[in-house]
Amino acid sequence: MNDRIAALAVWLLVLVGAIGLATPPARAAGFEENDTTRLAAVSQAIKSFEDDVSSALHDLPSNDAELIESYAYVELNLEAAHERLNTVFMLVAVSIYLESSSDQLLIASVMHGQLLPQSKNFLQEKQNAIASMAAAHPANQIFAAYSDRAKVIFRDRAIPLLDELSRRIGDLQR
């Protein structure tokens, strides 16, 4: 995981460097600190969910490989979703603190054109993956609860937030 964080940090430095070289005319992206607060709250909800699954995973009997694999699958999907949302968070935060509105718009353009739509699809895939464990274990109420919890976090909170950010960026680009 440290390699991923290091790679993300390098990627962000490259992006900030590229922003310094580009100067497209435009208005500020219009992100607010409230956006980072909301993203952080969703990210924390995913992390809390991930921690709960991890804790449950460690309490499983060591001789039930299929169940261990299923819990690990849910945990890995949550970890991946958490990392993706953190990427969105970092770009929104960087954009807020950039002084140049053209630099802000450049980040917003990348987010609108690639990161937000891909992240929305990615989170939907992670929600579906977690739901697949409930379908694979219909008698296990814990997986049913995990599926419901994933829907609340991803479908009801994260995806609408990404849609809102994308819509706001799209409105600025018109």
Q: What is the pLDDT of residues 125-141, one digit of tens each?
A: 999 999 999 999 999 99
Contact (CB, 8 A) for 57 and 113: no
**pLDDT, tens digit, 9 for 90 and up, residues 44-72:** 999 999 999 999 999 999 999 999 999 99
Strand, helix or coil for residue 95: helix
The DSSP letter of residue 115 is I
The SS3 of residue 62 is coil
Q: For the chain, how many structural domains are there in total?
A: 1
pLDDT value at 75 more than 90: yes
Contacts of 36 (CB under 8 A, 6+ apart): 89, 92, 93, 96
Given a cut of 60, is residue 97 above it in pLDDT? yes
Mean pLDDT within 98-105: 85
Which pLDDT belongs to residue 88? 96
Provide the residue range defining the domain that includes 144: 2-173
Determine the Cα–Cα distance for residues 90 and 51; give it in Å rounded to an integer: 22
Q: The tokens of 141 are what?
A: 């109420």
Confidence class for position 6, pLDDT limits 50, 70, 90? low
Whether 28 shows a pLDDT value over 70: the answer reads no
